[in-house]
Structure 1
Amino acid sequence: MTLKAKWSIGIKRYQTGAEDAHGNPVESWGPTELVDVYAIAPTSSTEPSVPGREAVIDGLAVLSPKDYGITAQDRAVIGDDEYTIEGSLANWNLGPFEFKPGFQFILKKVNG
């Protein structure tokens, strides 16, 4: 059985050594590169109870055919939304059968 990746998402790779105009270190990400994925599915949506703040945390699970070398420092872009990558890549190719379905990574976006 061969699965086909029908969707694409953007990945922005974390850039080390970036500096602001005054030479201070800053976080920076490279240009968006497109990667093919099988599916994008909602995982959760929570509203943490923090006094004085109304926030919603949305989660997505992304299923991909390849290990694109994505790390928790990188960012994912879907449409106009940018997400952080939570945790490590899950490898689903290690089962007892010859089926190699691919990989999974979790995205998170905080609003508010």
Structure 2
Amino acid sequence: MTFVVTEACIKCKYTDCVSVCPVDCFHEGPNFLVINPEGCIDCGVCIPECPVSAIFEEDRVPEDQKQFIEINARLAQSWPTINEAKEPMDDAEAWADVKGKSQYLIDACTDKA
């Protein structure tokens, strides 16, 4: 099993989770983070670090967020690894509680939202 970053991370990109990951399995895109399922060791230390509760065990991803299992796996293949915390996006606080943000995900491969 792996862990999955879901919609709540979009336009926030808090990186508290990155700094605790013992295997550097997080990857960074323009406005979202993903977890590489191939590298994740299922330790779970990232879950309590996420201030917007965007990370779930794969078998506990909410039904309306299941597409993020595939999104994490796909984007982890092309986005660079991030292993140190950075400042969140400038307007992260304004987006932290917003629901329905999937349309704002920027895929760095195509630069399309």
Question: Is the TM-score greater than 0.5?
Answer: no
TM-score (norm 1): 0.27
Point out which structure has higher relative CO (alpha carbons under 8 A, 6+ apart).
2
TM-score (norm 2): 0.27
Q: Which has the higher helix share?
A: 2
Between Structure 1 and Structure 2, whose CA radius of gyration is higher?
Answer: 1
